[in-house]
Chain A
Amino acid sequence: MLKGKELALPAKHRNRQYAIETKKKNSIGKLLSIAALVVLAVILYMTLNVRVDNPKLFWYSMSIRTPKVIAMLLVAFCIGGASVVFQSVINNTVVTPCLLGMNSLYTLIHTTAVFFFGAGSLAARNTNVAFAVDLALMGTIATFIYSFMFKKTKYNVLYVLLIGTVLSSFFSSTQATMTRIMDPNEYDTLLATLVASFSNINTEIIVFAVVVAALVIFVLRKDLALLNVITLGKEQAINLGVDYDRAIKRLLLGVVLFIAIATAMVGPISFLGLIIANLSRQLLRTYRHGYLIAGSALIGMVLLVGGQLIVEHVFVYSVPISVFITVGGGLYFLYLLLTQKRRL
């Protein structure tokens, strides 16, 4: 390539790939340590205060705890992955997919179902049906919002976030109006599904959720490989041969589906994604999304399983974990805003 000029590199720079390999190894080491923490938390969660003397009681606790752990791991994976991808696509590390009103959309869908069909209806009671409806509605509405609005605003992040905020209040107000004229008993039933809590996880949809998550990853595997380049910005990505608009659209749809899965399982949790995605970025300090996503998912797992452990055994269910997530997330968000002023 470089005609005429042969470059004599100093010896210490000759194998520069070395530094990059070291960085890779560092990242893998860190990921393995977090994974070890996850395993520890899971073991503790499964075994703490379990009655081993009576096999009946033992298997009873197992049958309660196993689906919960699986659900928490899945939720952490979905939120962690979706948040990293969303931040990279938007090219801003202090946003979470929840800012786009997906939470209030979820609340609205469920309120509407109870409002029109009653708390005893199939749509409200059958969790698999409700889950399918959630996914379909959130997927369609989000595809419309993102594909259309992104194009309309020429990929202007601020506009899209603004539209998300406006829609978010629109959904919440509509929902509030419905609850005001709703039968109090129905509202009571509804409320249980609207407050994020890991104590009443929707375990029946685990299989369905795992299948959908795996399918999304499979369909998007090529787009996920483009994430590193996409973070260089639209123009750079196109320069390097990425079909930018298509990749962005597909990735955002994936993000929405992942958030829908997590929300359907435990209800809306806002700040978790922001915390874990940024912790992962801070800890790994790399641009490689494979590591960032893995890190974010693993940190999420530690926080969720560990947090639930504390909620169940220290606070004995008196405080739901979402309180910790919101308070901790809020403080961390403030910290990010104050320290990363330059990057906003």
Chain B
Amino acid sequence: MFAKNLTKIYYGKTVVDSVNFEIPKGKVLSLIGPNGAGKSTVMGMISRLVASDAGLVDFEGTAIHKWKSRDLSKRLAILTQTNNIQMKLTVRELVSFGRFPYSGSHLTAKDIEIIDQAIGYMELTQMQEQFIDELSGGQRQRAYIAMVIAQDTEYVLLDEPTNNLDIYHATNMMKTVRRMCDELGKTIILVLHEINYAAFYSDYICAFVGGRIAKFGTVKEVMTKENLSEIYGVNFEIQEVEGKPLSIYY
């Protein structure tokens, strides 16, 4: 999967400017950068939620907008931040929607097995009959992740999955992301604001500034004092913790 000369213009303002990159398969890639750098828009374009104005996103040899939406939904899943449901939906029912691309509304025995596994994987078995709107933010986020797991796609795109979560739940979310990559072999792309989560839990980092890619490389390559200062415009110190470069900014 790669992007070529990807461009997005909103009301005459170029938000994403001719961006090129390739997504490493089976790894965790974090998109970071200051507000308005275009990382969420890039995420939208590679997941077909946002139409690009120029350039293309190639997914397995075919431009992403030429894919049949149904076929694509078996290969690539996206979870955005805006998830408000008006329906009375239980955790299990939500997770079952992950099987919609495969079986529609009629679940097969295999679907039910996969749903069970996804719920167990996210440790939601005890609360699977609870209604989504009665859960805490962290639990709800886990339910959505379980749905994405049930969707059983090679690629998983998460737009700020740690948003609105406290430190405990955010850290657990990042651990889950790592596990989904290591244990389930998924390729994961995240938009993150917390650079230390990006540094600790991902394999690659892509930093955006002003709609362009400022740095793209392994965590070690990108997480240097000079790079980060340049990207964010504030002072940085880098410290190693468990062999990973973590940053302190002030």
List the interface of chain A (C-beta within 8 A of B).
1-5, 7, 9-10, 13, 16-17, 19-20, 87-88, 91-93, 225, 228-229, 231-233, 235-236, 238-243, 281, 285-287, 343
* Binary contact readout B111-148 vs A (1 if CB under 8 angstroms, 0 otherwise): 01010111111000110110000000000000000000
Given A2-B121, A13-B125: A241 and B89 interface contact (C-beta under 8 Å)? no
Given A9-B125, A225-B104: A20 and B184 interface contact (C-beta under 8 Å)? no
CB distance from B53 to the nearest CB of A (A): 15
Q: How many pairs of A and B residues are in contact by the CB < 8 Å rule? A: 103
Q: What's the interface size class on B, roughly?
A: 35 or more
Are B185 and A241 neighbours in the complex by a CB distance under 8 Å? no
Are B92 and A240 neighbours in the complex by a CB distance under 8 Å? no
* Binary contact readout B85-97 vs A (1 if CB under 8 angstroms, 0 otherwise): 1111100110011
Distance, CA A240 to CA B97, complexed state (A): 8
Task: Say whether B3 faces chain A, with CB atoms less than 8 Å apart.
Answer: no
Are A241 and B120 neighbours in the complex by a CB distance under 8 Å? no
Contacts of B101 in A (CB 8 A): 240-241
CB distance from B181 to the nearest CB of A (A): 12
Given A5-B121, A17-B112: A235 and B85 interface contact (C-beta under 8 Å)? no
Partner of B151, one of A16, A228, A240: A240
CB distance from A95 to the nearest CB of B (A): 11
Contacts of B125 in A (CB 8 A): 9-10, 13
Could you name 5 residue pairs across A and B whose Cβ atoms are closer than 8 Å?
A1-B117, A3-B185, A17-B107, A229-B100, A239-B77
Contacts of A9 in B (CB 8 A): 116, 120, 125
List the interface of chain B (C-beta within 8 A of A).
47-49, 68-74, 77-80, 82-89, 92-93, 96-98, 100-101, 104-105, 107, 112, 114, 116-121, 125-126, 128-129, 149, 151-152, 183-185
CB distance from A143 to the nearest CB of B (A): 22
Closest to B128 in A: A16
Main secondary structure of the interface of A (DSSP, over half): loop
Contacts of A5 in B (CB 8 A): 121, 183
CB distance from A87 to the nearest CB of B (A): 8
CB distance from A94 to the nearest CB of B (A): 10
Known: A241-B68, A241-B70. 19 other contacts (CB 8 A): A1-B152, A2-B149, A3-B185, A5-B183, A16-B128, A17-B112, A225-B105, A228-B105, A229-B97, A232-B85, A238-B48, A238-B69, A239-B47, A239-B77, A239-B78, A241-B100, A243-B69, A287-B93, A343-B86
Distance, CA A112 to CA B79, complexed state (A): 50
Residue with the greatest number of chain A CB neighbours at <10 A, chosen from B49, B92, B105, B128: B105
Closest to A19 in B: B129
Closest to A94 in B: B86
Are A287 and B128 neighbours in the complex by a CB distance under 8 Å? no
Contacts of A2 in B (CB 8 A): 117-118, 121, 149, 183-184
CB distance from A243 to the nearest CB of B (A): 6
Are B184 and A16 neighbours in the complex by a CB distance under 8 Å? no
Distance, CA A24 to CA B71, complexed state (A): 29
Contacts of A10 in B (CB 8 A): 125
Instruction: Identify the 3 closest CB pairs spanning chains A and B, nearest first.
Output: A241-B73, A241-B70, A7-B120
Given A240-B97, A240-B100: A93 and B77 interface contact (C-beta under 8 Å)? no
Contacts of A343 in B (CB 8 A): 86
Distance, CA A239 to CA B155, complexed state (A): 12
Are B93 and A20 neighbours in the complex by a CB distance under 8 Å? yes
Are A235 and B120 neighbours in the complex by a CB distance under 8 Å? no
Are B116 and A285 neighbours in the complex by a CB distance under 8 Å? no
